[in-house]
Amino acid sequence: MGIVASMIKKTNPLHDEERSEILRLVAETLMDISKYPRRCCKRSSYMAIEEATGYLRNSGFDKLTIGKIQCQWAPKNKMCLGIRCLYFPQKGGH
């Protein structure tokens, strides 16, 4: 997520303020991901995509949109949180 946001904004490690801003975004996203009890790389990815899209939209890339995300992997993941997951299909997605 941080790399994608940096590439779109054309930010590199020499851009002090922008670099710090993106690192804060990554840290906040990781904190949100850590609130869920079980690992799920799909949920983590979906959360990161939503956070990055929102950040970039608020940074002037207002044409960047994302549709409603519903997980297609829940039936295959024995550790799925089910309705406690933001992206569980029967919950309606996020």
DSSP one-letter string for 25-59? HHHHHHHHHTTSSS--HHHHHHHHHHHHHHHHHHT
Structural domains of the chain, count: 1
Residue 45, in any domain of the structure: yes
pLDDT digits (tens, 9 = 90+) for 36-74: 988 899 999 999 999 999 999 988 888 888 889 999 999
In which domain, by residue range, is 55 found?
Answer: 2-68
- Confidence band of 93 (pLDDT split at 50, 70, 90): low
CB atoms within 10 A of CB 84: 11
Which tokens sit at 32?
């949100």
Q: What is the pLDDT of residue 24?
A: 94
Which tokens sit at 11?
């930010």
Residue 86, in any domain of the structure: no
What CA–CA distance (Å, rounded) separates 7 from 87? 27
CB atoms within 10 A of CB 29: 20
Residue 79, in any domain of the structure: no
pLDDT digits (tens, 9 = 90+) for 16-28: 899 999 999 999 9
Residue 60, in any domain of the structure: yes
Q: What is the pLDDT of residue 50?
A: 93
